[in-house]
Chains A and B, each alone.
Chain A
Amino acid sequence: MLVFAVGGQEFALPLGGIVEIARARTPTPVPGAEPGVLGIVPFRGAMVTVIDGRLRLGLSGAPMGRAGSMIVLRDSGELVGLVVDAVARVALIHPAEREPLPAALRLARTDLFLGVVPRRDGGYLFLLDAGAVLRPAP
């Protein structure tokens, strides 16, 4: 899984749907876009819909600007870019390491997560469901 950081937290996405990791560029806003969608940028001859990782993952703080990386994912024939603060590493996560979401966390959207992996420092690595991340909040 690809591990990346957004708003001081660590998240992981399955490598399967990831097309490429690119530098985030200023997107062109599109009117009428759903919340969390920053706009579009051209990418390899197509258009990528750019999603603000911080907003989408329910983290507070200012919306992301142009800094950071864009994780380009393929979603039913379309390309979607998730803007994150930084891409950290690729990690192999054994199913046995995975734990259910701790209820105490009180997350805005529990449907985004497949589970967590506890870290030594007491924090969690959040395992994301790629499909759910690409859908807006219900």
Chain B
Amino acid sequence: MADGGRGERERLERDFLAEAEEIFDALADALRSLEEGLGSGPPRRPLVNSIFREVHSLKGLAGLQGHQGIADLAHALEDLLDRLRLGRADLSAAVLELLHETFDALQSEVRALGGPRSAARVHGVLEERLRAAAAGADVPAGREVSPAPLGIDPRVVAALSEYEERRLAEVIGNGGVILLVRLRLGPRDFDVRLREIVGRIESRGEVICTVPVLEKGDETDLHFTLLVTSDGGAEGLVHLLQGAPATVEAVASPGAGSAGAKMLPPDEGREEARGVSDSLRVPVARLDDVLAQVADLSIALAAVGRSARSLCQTHPVDRQARELDRLVRELVPRVRALQRSTIETRLVPVERIFGRIGRMVARAARSAGKEVEFHTLGGETELDKAMMDGVASPLVQLLRNALDHGIEPPDEREKAGKPRRGRLVLSAFQKGRSAIIDVSDDGRGISIERVRAAAQAAGLVPAGAALSEAETRDLIFSPGFSTAARVSQDSGRGVGLDVVRRSIRRLKGTIVVRWLQGKGTTFTIALPTTLVLVQALIVRACGQRFAIPIGAVRESLRLESARLRRSGSEEIYDHPRGPLPLMRLASLMRPDQEGSMAESKYAVVAGPPDRPVGIIVDGFVGQQEVVIKPIGQRLADLPGLAGATDLGDATAVLVLDPEGLIAGGSRERPLP
């Protein structure tokens, strides 16, 4: 075939993969709704209809692309769904589990297509069970061979779905090798790395299941256990996983029995897989290029505007000059609108991650032996694509904490007069230009006395220090608090929360916690919808301009010199509402030099409501909408900087992040 034909086929295949991912997103949500409605009468017909339609389009698309295995499985699933929506088959828990398994199988098959080599999989058993279920027969249970005697961790076995157990039994029955891969991944980028590692394994085998495991003692990293079959055997897999933070163990092999485990040293600093979205059809980088070009255009236009204005001033009676000035002025809002809508194309509904997180939580709950129901609300809330990628890990961490420490075991809950099943709620809503995400559980909450005691034991606060309740709550986010694992377990919570807070801060968001002892805990995350376009206050300080996002500014002050005083090394302003500590931008720009005690005229008040700080500035330039651009990786990831912007005069102006600035300037300890 000609090259053009091959290119076309590849393009079609890419389109198929993207479209399939969108279908899976929709299916994941629909299946969850189905699950929530389980037990309260027959399923809602529109819901089953929508699932049916999605599966039907998947079947059609797969058929067109010649992926017969996927099309066949989708067909069998479609038949079952057809009978469900016609009321000819009942939706039992077993049928629902079968739908989940089929969904998993379809998804892993489609994802394998994106890899270098797709492993041929046999879905005969699954198709048979679908047909049996469609015929109204009982769904046959698949637990014939138990993997437990293989020496697999019972927690992993507990989390296996029927399909996975069956697949495991099939492989062993056919004399295949089952290998256990343990992974330990950092919380920041685990999803990207997990995908990358699974991709590597699937280039020479099949990942039968991926189970998140809660490791006692390690509260920062996430642990996963993968059951894998690979044609290269243990050695081949060890080779394949070189450099990954993984261990490989053979659990079943035809002759040799269990081979010795081999440890591979973790290797950070490997190339990061790119976090390109699965279903956004336009590569994010291309969108960013468009955005940069639009920004460039608006700056060029600003220059034209300045020329037109000065032409007008030098020739005040020239009608043509006035006309030109008017025309350019009219263009400005249009280009601004173009800029705004370009930025809005980066926004995606949080539903995308909610669905994925929901499935992970369900698995983790099963492996932790907790009974929980998981609800999501406000999935339509929009967030910038980049924010979305950054917020997934902290959310998983918070939910994992809630599962691990918040929600009590069923018996304990019953004793406390609560329903046996715990409740986890992930909800989001839009508030102005921010998105608010709540992570709530109805678990045991946190004891404020214990937090105080634990913080004192960890040396975070001096004994007898008088802290407000808000300050005490804030302690659970301190790095020292989380590393004192035993202490924080006693107090019920606080593990890995410093990492969570750092991730949220990196996204220029805030996180606070509220709890009611014995009733539950809620973490509230507030994130700017986008980090790209913000209304900002432009100020002058240290001989240059800075932009401060308006959202972070509480108040602008003209300082009265009579109210200024010093207290040790700190400058304090006696604000009518209470003493206000001041800070100078000079200490950010030139931390090695002690800022000169020049006359302080103005201050911008920012920071948390209970601990505001005044940032001293020389003057205010104005207020305008700015496009925040990232500053290169070469420039230190300084907590006080959000990026840079161009106000139209070809000079970079640093955009400050007051929250980070204040946190960085306070006594927060550096990381070990």
- When the two chains form their complex, are residues B634 and A34 in contact, meaning their CB atoms are under 8 A apart? yes
B73 at the interface (CB under 8 A from A): no
Which residues of the other chain, A, contact B299 by a CB distance below 8 angstroms? 42, 45
For A79, the chain B residues whose CB sits under 8 A away are 632
Of B297, B589, B646, which one neighbours A31 at CB under 8 angstroms? B589
Residues of B within 8 A of A121 (CB): none
Q: With A and B bound together, what is the CA distance between A37 and B634 in angstroms? A: 8
CB of A31 within 8 A of CB of B652, answer no
Complex contact B294–A31 (CB within 8 A): no
Residue A41, interface by CB 8 Å:
yes
In the bound complex, CA of A49 to CA of B633 (Å): 9
> Is the CB of B465 closer than 8 A to any CB of chain A?
no
Considering the complex, give the chain A residue whose CB is closest to the CB of B274: A77
User: Is A33 a contact of B652 with CB atoms below 8 Å?
Assistant: no
Asked if B551 lies at the interface with its beta carbon under 8 angstroms from chain A, I say no
Alpha-carbon gap, A31 to B665, bound state (A): 14
Stretch at the interface among B118-126, B172-180, B598-606, B635-643: B635-643
A45 partner, pick from B296, B638, B644, beta carbons under 8 A: B296
Interface residues of A in 29-52 (CB under 8 A from B): 29-34, 37, 39-42, 44-49, 51
The distance from the CB of B335 to the nearest CB of chain A, in whole angstroms, is 12
CA distance A46 to B589 in the complex (A): 22
Give chain B nearest CB distance to A84 CB in angstroms.
Answer: 18
The answer to whether A29 and B631 have CB atoms under 8 Å apart is no
Q: Tell me if B597 is interfacial: C-beta within 8 Å of chain A.
A: no
**A45 with B291, Cβ < 8 A, contacts A28-B544, A29-B589 known:** yes
Q: Is A31 within 8 A of B591, CB to CB?
A: yes
**Complex: A80 Cα to B652 Cα, angstroms:** 14
| Minimum C-beta distance from B634 to chain A (A) | 5
Q: Does A25 contact B (CB under 8 A)?
A: yes
Query: Which residue of the partner chain B has the closest CB to A76?
Result: B633
A 36-79 binary contact with B (CB < 8 Å = 1; else 0): 01011110111111010000000000000000000000000111
Nearest CB in chain A to that of B542: its residue: A29
Q: Is B653 an interface residue (CB 8 A)?
A: yes
CB closest chain-B residue, reference A27: B652
A80 touches B631 (CB 8 A): no
Q: When each residue 290-315 of chain B gets 1 if its CB lies under 8 Å from chain A and 0 otherwise, what string results? A: 01111111010000000000000000
- Whether A47 contacts B644 by the Cβ 8 Å rule is yes
Contact of B631 among A40, A45, A51, A77 (CB under 8 A): A40
| A28: nearest chain-B partner, CB-CB | B652
Q: A28-B652, A32-B638, A41-B650 given as contacts; is B633 within 8 A of A78 (CB)?
A: yes
User: Which of A34, A47, A51, A80 sits near B636, CB closer than 8 Å?
Assistant: A34
Residues 639-671 of chain B, each 1 if its beta carbon lies under 8 Å from chain A, else 0: 001011010001111100000000000000000
**Known contacts A45-B294, A45-B299; A28 and B636 CB within 8 A of each other:** no
Determine if A30 and B646 form an interchain contact, defined as CB atoms under 8 angstroms apart: no
- The size class of the interface chain B forms with chain A is 20 to 34
Whole-angstrom distance between the alpha carbons of A29 and B632 in the complex? Answer: 13
Instruction: Identify which of residues 70-98 in chain A touch chain B, using a CB-to-CB cut-off of 8 Å.
Output: 77-80
A30 vs chain B, min Cβ distance (A): 5
Contact of A25 among B292, B633, B638, B650 (CB under 8 A): B650
Contact residues in A for B630 (Cβ distance below 8 Å): 47
B247-286 vs A, CB cutoff 8 Å, 1 = contact: the mask equals 0000000000000000000000000000000000000010
Partner of A26, one of B291, B294, B589, B651: B651
Q: Which of B285, B294, B588, B632 contacts A47 (CB 8 A)?
A: B632
Mark out the residues of chain B between 536 and 560 whose CB falls within 8 Å of any chain A CB in the assembled complex.
Answer: 544
B283 shortest CB reach to chain A, Å: 11
Contact (A42, B292) CB under 8 Å given A34-B636, A49-B632: no
Q: Count chain B CB atoms within 10 A of each CB in A47, A51, A79, A136 and give the residue with the most.
A: A47
Given A28-B654, A31-B589, A41-B650, residue A49 in contact with residue B634 (CB < 8 A):
yes
| Contact between chains at B646 and A42 (CB < 8 Å) | yes
Inside 8 A of B590's CB, which chain A residues have their CB? Answer: 31
User: In whole angstroms, how far apart are the Cα atoms of A46 and B652 in the complex?
Assistant: 10
Whether A28 pairs with B633 at a CB distance below 8 angstroms is no
Contact B591 A46 (CB under 8 A): no
Q: A28-B544, A33-B636, A37-B634 are in contact. Are A44 and B296 (CB under 8 A)?
A: yes
Chain B residues in 8 Å Cβ range of A46: 292, 295, 629
C-alpha gap A44/B293 in the complex (Å)? 7
Closest B residue by C-beta to A135: B634
Min C-beta distance of B518 to chain A, whole Å:
45
CB distance from A103 to the nearest CB of B (A): 31
On whether the beta carbons of B285 and A40 are closer than 8 Å, the reply is no
Give, as a whole number of angstroms, the nearest-CB distance from A138 to chain B: 14
Task: Return B645 CB to nearest CB of chain A, in Å.
Answer: 8
CA distance A15 to B292 in the complex (A): 23
Contacts A28-B644, A78-B632 given; indicate if A41 touches B292 (C-beta within 8 A): no
Assess whether A31 is in contact with B631, with CB atoms less than 8 Å apart. no
Query: Interface readout for B213-227 with A: 1 if CB under 8 Å, 0 if not?
Result: 000000000000000
- Kindly list chain B residues whose C-beta atoms are within 8 Å of the C-beta of A80: 632, 634
Residues of B within 8 Å of A136, CB to CB, are 634
**Which residue in chain A gives the minimum CB-CB distance to B630?**
A47
Say yes or no: A33 contacts B292, CB within 8 Å. Answer: no
**How many Å lie between the Cα of A51 and that of B544 in the bound state?**
20
How far is it, in angstroms, between the C-alpha of A30 and the C-alpha of B292 when the chains are bound? 21
Q: How far is the CA of A28 from the CA of B635 in the complex (A)?
A: 12
Name the residue of chain B whose CB is nearest to the CB of A49: B632
- Are B634's CB and A47's CB within 8 A? no
**A126 CB, min distance to chain B CBs, angstroms:** 22
Chain B residues with CB below 8 A from A31, complex form: 588-591, 636, 638, 641
User: B588 touching A33 by the CB < 8 A rule?
Assistant: no
- A76→B653 CA distance, assembly (Å): 24
Selected from A45, A47, A78, the residue in CB contact (under 8 A) with B293 is A45
B285, B293, B296, B544: the one within 8 Å of A77 (CB)? B285
In whole Å, how far is A27's beta carbon from the nearest beta carbon of chain B?
A: 7
B residues in contact with A27, CB < 8 Å: 652
A42 touches B634 (CB 8 A): no
Contact partner of B653 among A25, A28, A49, CB < 8 A? A28
| Chain A residue at minimum C-beta to C-beta distance from B545 | A28
Check B638–A44 contact: CB distance below 8 A: no
Residue among B291, B588, B629, B632 with the highest chain A CB neighbour number at 10 A: B632
Which residues on the A side are within 8 Å of B589 (C-beta)?
A: 29, 31
Q: 1/0 contact trace for B564-596 toward A, CB 8 Å?
A: 000000000000000000000000111100000
A47, B629: Cβ atoms under 8 Å? yes
Nearest CB in chain A: distance from B339 CB, A:
10
Residues in A whose Cβ lies below 8 Å from that of B641: 30-31
Whether the pair B634, A33 counts as a contact (CB closer than 8 A) is: yes
**A44/B292 in contact, CB under 8 A:** yes
Whether A40 and B638, one on each chain, are in contact in the complex, defined by CB atoms closer than 8 angstroms, is: no
New A-B contacts (13) at CB < 8 Å, excluding given A28-B651, A30-B635, A37-B634 = A25-B650, A26-B651, A28-B644, A28-B653, A30-B636, A30-B641, A33-B635, A39-B652, A40-B644, A41-B650, A42-B651, A46-B295, A80-B634
Can you list 6 A-B contacts with CB-CB less than 8 angstroms, sorted by A residue number? Answer: A31-B638, A33-B636, A40-B632, A42-B644, A45-B296, A79-B632
Task: Give the 4 A-B CB pairs with smallest separation, nearest first.
Answer: A32-B636, A45-B296, A45-B292, A45-B295
Binding site for B on A (CB under 8 A): 25-34, 37, 39-42, 44-49, 51, 77-80, 136
